[in-house]
Chain A
Amino acid sequence: MKKIYKEALTYILIGLAIWFLIFIFFPSKGLEVGRVAYNTFVQAVKIVIAVFLFIGLLQVWLSSETLSKIMGKEAGWAKYVISSTVPIFIGGSLFSIFPLLSALLEKGASLGAILTFITAWSGKAPLIPLEIHFLGLHFTILRTIMVIPMALIIGVVGELILEA
């Protein structure tokens, strides 16, 4: 946790240093930077609160134990159906799902299911409010729906390549 704070602080300091330099050389541009930064911050705070509540709820409702049970090797082709849709509702970054997936792999999930899972996870349902706000409803719906066939193709083709 401390590393995250340190990293965040580094970015903030670098940002402030650049802002300071802009202020010295182009004072009017510096004011504009401040105004845009303030507006973006206020907008982001509102959405981030909603998004984090959403992520929290989903993490509680969908435990990793439940997922391991559903995606076991004995689940047959049904695991493709599940691993191409369920991960859409999970939040976090690649770093946070790798440990979960390696646990699934140890419990006997197939490589195809893992590949499908990672790709389907990019659907990012918890971030949908954010996506609609910045990129529009049409884009969001189209991208989220297209994640499913993409996940299936990568899962099936990837397994063929890896097990060849």
Chain B
Amino acid sequence: MSGNNAGLLLLGSVIFLCTGFSTELDTHYSQGLSAYENGQYSLAIQEFETILDGDWESSQLYYNLGNSYYRNGNIAGAVWAYEKCLQIDPLNKDAIYNLKLANLKVVDRVDIPEPPFYLKYYRQLRKMLIPSQWVQAMLIILVFLAMNFSVRRIWNLNWLAKPELVLTILLVTSMLVGANAIWDRNSIREGVIYAFEVKAYSAPNENSTQLFDVHEGLKVGVDTVSGDWVEIELIDGKSGWIHWSDIRLLN
């Protein structure tokens, strides 16, 4: 029984370690917030971006950065920040709403056909947690399953077999969904067009054919990166090369 106590101790210490804090971050963040509330949107953007440069992020930071960009008239920045916010907190209603508003001001409109209902439900389920939370959920289920397993085996409690089956199904489901979420997050690269109007070329040089124009704030898929050039793909399937500086990547 001493092994069990050791496990609990380890769990407790991990939780303690996760709640670390930094005061410098808070200074920048609160200065950014008060600048935003005083209408100094450029200053707010500067403060918030400083935090991002320091390699820290949070859903609230992205949300407030998005608001600052929106108020400052930078639709591309707003779309980018709201999208980032939703990557961390996919169910943030305020961010969803503000992103919709920002997208209304995007010149290019791409209509996505309605997916079949089962795909829609699946995506809603997957959206409930971000990839890292899926991993955690899976592990918590795993812990419960392990507890169930060991209790059942030690005391020979056969009625625990059913909960064990349920937990196993939950575990497999969360593993599959989580794996799919992580796969998508890592394999699908996206970005937001940052320049007002961008010409997309057929090859990564300016002498090649101009294929189409995209405008600021449009979310595009990113296929390949070659030097200063990025190959983007629109939702409707068109793809072309644009300058690296004209896009801000989402991941």
Q: Do A and B bind each other?
A: no
